[in-house]
Amino acid sequence: MSNPYITAPIRAGMYATTAHKVIWVVVVVASAGLLAPPLFYIAAKKRVISMLVPVVYAVIIYGSASLGSLVGNPKNWVGGVLAITMIVAAVHAAILDTDWKPGR
């Protein structure tokens, strides 16, 4: 006997539909990762993730872009940092709402 009130998930879902998930991932990729912190802020407000995650993304993305414009970008390191962060953010956004079960 399983009671749906006992086995119900505690946290809210991040995405309403699969199309909603696809739109967010495409927006993160199309904006080169610049819109990743707002996505993760929304997820943190829904208590899907910790509030530390959007802060880390914002520091990496906006900090590297600002530092690159102040210090200069002689070896094109800013583009590499933003590209890697964009890929990580897109994957993170894609798996944000999956329910991971132990043993799978």
Per DSSP, the residues of 32-69 read TTTTHHHHHHHHHHTTSS-THHHHHHHHHHHHHHHHHH
pLDDT, residue 37, reads: 92
Q: Does residue 41 sit within a domain?
A: yes
**Residue 93, pLDDT above cutoff 50:** yes
Two tokens at 68? 């690159």
Q: How far is CA 97 from CA 5, 35, 70, 77, in A?
A: 20, 18, 37, 32
Total number of domains in the chain: 1
Domain limits for position 42: 18-94
Examine residue 102 and state whether it is found in any structural domain, yes or no. no
The two three-digit tokens of residue 54, written as one number: 């959007």
What does the pLDDT read at residue 72? 84
Position 100 pLDDT exceeds 70: no
pLDDT at site 3: 60
pLDDT at position 104 is: 46
Answer yes or no: is 99 within a domain.
Answer: no
Q: Tell me: the pLDDT tens digits for 47-79?
A: 888 899 999 999 999 998 888 888 887 888 888
Q: Is residue 12 part of a domain?
A: no
- Tokens representing 38? 């707002």
Q: Is residue 1 part of a domain?
A: no
Query: Cβ distance 69 to 83 under 8 Å?
Result: no
Say what the pLDDT of residue 5 is.
55
